[in-house]
Amino acid sequence: MKKIVVLTGAGISAESGLKTFRDADGLWEGHRVEDVATPEAWDRDPEMVLDFYNQRRKQARLAKPNQAHISLAQLDQFFTTVVITQNVDDLHERAGSKKIIHLHGELFKVRSTINAKLIYDWQSDLKIGDFCESGSQLRPHIVWFGEEVPMLIVAASECRDARYCIIVGTSMQVYPAAGLVGFLPKDCEVIYIDPKPTISYELNNIKNLSLIKSKASLGVSNLIEQLIGKRETG
């Protein structure tokens, strides 16, 4: 089976009611990144950081996958598909995609502050005083600015043999995620779906790049219908 790598960002979940980061009224308009999404913020004011992610978790629990997540999940039947997402929500999982790499962590997991291997599923609010089995405070299982991206190597190696790469709803401004397209083979067809796509340095060097300036639900479902049809007719 041909391989499709899908790279998603906050825009794919916008139609599910979750805010993006950099659009007008985006999450970073209401918050300073340094206050809620860095290790320094955690050291300075863990309550504020917990509150930010508790709100995100509540909102994500109420959200439902939209047509873009659902259409992407259909790809598994026809292609070897890997979804690499910058999103911390679980909408790709709930839509049924099988292979998902979360580059920036997961809202519904928490981990120990002294042993990063102690990771737990978590649905409710996380509070000061919630401890891991070794007795240390738990923190959100999120990659904060300035931290390593442990899944990057896995994601980059998935890109190396892709036939198609579908990029959906990301401003391609946050590295190293945005640099992943640099690992795609030269003949890979890249399709970027976003009402306001941003052509990053790496995208500018892609030979086979098509832009679909549309919201995710419509753009993704049309594209996937075409890709499945093309595959069926050889």
Interface residue list for ligand OAD (CB under 6 A): 9-11, 14-15, 20-23, 26, 37, 86, 104, 143, 169-171, 173-174, 194-196, 215-216
Closer to ligand OAD by CB, 30 or 134: give it: 30
Length of the chain in residues, anyone? 234
Closer to ligand OAD by CB, 176 or 185: give it: 176
What phi and psi values does residue 135 have, to the nearest 5 degrees? 90, 20
Residue nearest to ligand OAD (CB): 11
Question: At closest approach, how far in Å is the CB of 90 from ligand OAD?
Answer: 14
104 is catalytic: yes
Of the candidates 204, 196, 154, the residue with the CA atom closest to the CA atom of residue 176: 154
Closer to ligand OAD by CB, 106 or 158: give it: 106
Question: Which of the following is catalytic: 69, 92, 102, 104?
Answer: 104
Question: At closest approach, how far in Å is the CB of 233 from ligand OAD?
Answer: 28
- DSSP secondary structure letters along 52-120: HHHHHHHHHHH----HHHHHHHHGGGTSEEEEEE---S-HHHHHT-S-EEETTEEEEEEEESS-TT-EE
β-pairing verdict for 80-85 and 100-102: parallel
Question: At closest approach, how far in Å is the CB of 2 from ligand OAD?
Answer: 24
Closer to ligand OAD by CB, 89 or 158: give it: 89
Of the candidates 67, 10, 6, the residue with the CA atom closest to the CA atom of residue 189: 6
Question: At closest approach, how far in Å is the CB of 6 from ligand OAD?
Answer: 13
Of the candidates 140, 177, 171, the residue with the CA atom closest to the CA atom of residue 20: 171
Residues catalogued as catalytic: 104
